[in-house]
Structure 1
Amino acid sequence: MASSSFATTQYTSEEFVESSGAILFDFSQAMTRVCLIHYLAKNEWLLAKGRRNCGEPRLEAALREVHEETGYPCRPYPVTMSTRAPPATETGSISDQARSYPGLTDPFMLTTREVEAKKAKLIWWYIAEVDKDALGKSGGIHGESDFVAAFLSCDDALQKLTFEDDRSILKRAINLVADSPGNSSL
């Protein structure tokens, strides 16, 4: 029996977990801001993410987790980005290469972590926009009790993040938003 020439690791459902997260932007002011969460127990500044529930679409999981952790309802924010996925209208064979498409709300990044021997975590990353109506609510917005959400300038958010991997994710999201039509506030 033949083997694939590609490096392959297979995980059973007991050995992996899927998470989804989103970079939450606020475009309502002159300067675009990004929402980070401050994990109080460890004094860490993070991007909002969490485990996907059984049967839950990845994008819905990302929006739900962001809302739960930050307290802010949000929606997907479409960007122009390159992907190896074929266009939605693909009817024939198309070569496997990256192409740029406008208006995508697909994941812009995937993080894989080996959390222990033969156990993995996959994190699908999306871009989201805060619901502008939630920003003006009196009484404040509250997410999960372990976290405090804060909107920061993009530069401040990049400096504040605790982990370098989160910085690279945020940098990519900022670049995609900046390069998408209609956004001049970055």
Structure 2
Amino acid sequence: MTTRAPPATEAAKCRDKPRLHHGVCEPFMVTCRPLGGVDNLKIIWWYIAAIDEDESPSAGEKQFEIQWFGFEKAQSRLTFAMDRDVVRKAIQIFDASYAA
């Protein structure tokens, strides 16, 4: 993924430019969704991850059910247009990473 975050091996004073890194573990995007009222804001950190399709997902939080979807189905299941835009961007980043 291309990121402006410098790797730990670079000097503290390096040029501010996007760099391609593999194995990045930072979110690629953050979105904020007002939920009504002055103090009610949902902050969503978005990550891109690779999975082993032959493995079952490990247990997450009790109140959530983990489900895996392909690119197209994931987009169609999302309620909010902004979330679909984020998934489209994730797909572009994924495709660019494998094209490089």
TM tier, shorter chain?
A: 0.5 to 0.7
Residue of structure 2 in register with 1:130 after alignment: 51
Determine which structure has greater relative contact order: mean sequence separation of CA pairs < 8 Å that are 6+ residues apart, divided by chain length: 1
Map of 1:48-67 to 2, 5 A cutoff?
A: none
Alpha-carbon distance in structure 1 between the residues aligned to 2:28 and 2:15: 20
2:20 paired residue among 96, 101, 107: 101
The TM-score normalised by the length of structure 1 is: 0.41
Amino acid at match of 2:19: S
Distance 1:130 1:171, change over 3 A: same
2:79 paired residue among 147, 157, 162: 162
Q: Which of the pair is proportionally richer in strand?
A: 1
Is 2:92 the counterpart of 1:175?
A: yes
Structure 1: where are the runs of 5+ without partners?
1-79, 136-140
Alpha-carbon distance in structure 1 between the residues aligned to 2:67 and 2:11: 45
Distance 1:181 1:118, change over 3 A: same
Distance 1:159 1:121, change over 3 A: closer
Amino acid at match of 1:105: C
Query: Based on CA coordinates, which of the two structures has the bigger radius of gyration?
Result: 1
Distance 1:147 1:114, change over 3 A: closer
| Number of residue pairs the alignment of both structures matches | 96
Alpha-carbon distance in structure 2 between the residues aligned to 1:166 and 1:106: 18
Amino acid at match of 2:43: L
Deviations 1:78-113 (A, max 9, x none): xx22x23233222142344x4122202221001123
Alpha carbon RMSD of aligned pairs, Å?
Answer: 3.1
Alpha-carbon distance in structure 1 between the residues aligned to 2:61 and 2:27: 24
Deviations 1:49-70 (A, max 9, x none): xxxxxxxxxxxxxxxxxxxxxx
